[in-house]
Amino acid sequence: MAAWSDADLGYMRAAIGEARVAAQAGEVPVGAVVVVDGEIIARGVNRTISDIDPSAHAEIVALRAAAQELGDYRLTTATVYVTLEPCAMCMGAMVQARVQRLVFGAYDPKAGAAGSAIDLSDSASFNHRFEINGGVLAEDCGKVLKTFFENRR
């Protein structure tokens, strides 16, 4: 297990809080926060069901809010914290936004695109790469998902 900074742990706990908000709304409980200069500037939860939008993943919702907050679609100094390893769509959006860093909690062996199911993090096809740190509070992040799906059965 890696030694995570207190800041990383705090921001991931904030993302876990967002995941719980998603669960309460009946959405798959994934939460994200975007941090710039040590401050959370945007938050996102999965909203695919409530928005009737297949692209409304927590990361996309948070990236859109961060771009609006900064008045720029380039988030070159941003760190995205998300409770579940991003899918291919979300990794692509982070490349387009030029984020500086991604920190995620639970690994997603079925759809994770930061090394689990596929690795888009180091693709020669992309013109931007960013730092990726996975497994931050992975057990806590996974528990939120597991509890949600157990309760739905």
Active site residues: 59
Query: Cβ distance 55 to 44 under 8 Å?
Result: no
Name the token pair of 133: 């740190």
Q: Which of 131, 91, 132 is nearest to 113 (CA)?
A: 91
How far is the C-alpha of 111 from the C-alpha of 52, rounded, in Å? Answer: 21
Judge whether 16 and 141 are in contact, CB under 8 Å: yes
Integer Cα distance of 8 and 28 in angstroms: 23
Long-range contacts of residues 43-46, Cβ cutoff 8 Å, at least 24 apart: 43/14, 43/18, 44/18, 45/18, 45/19, 45/21, 46/22
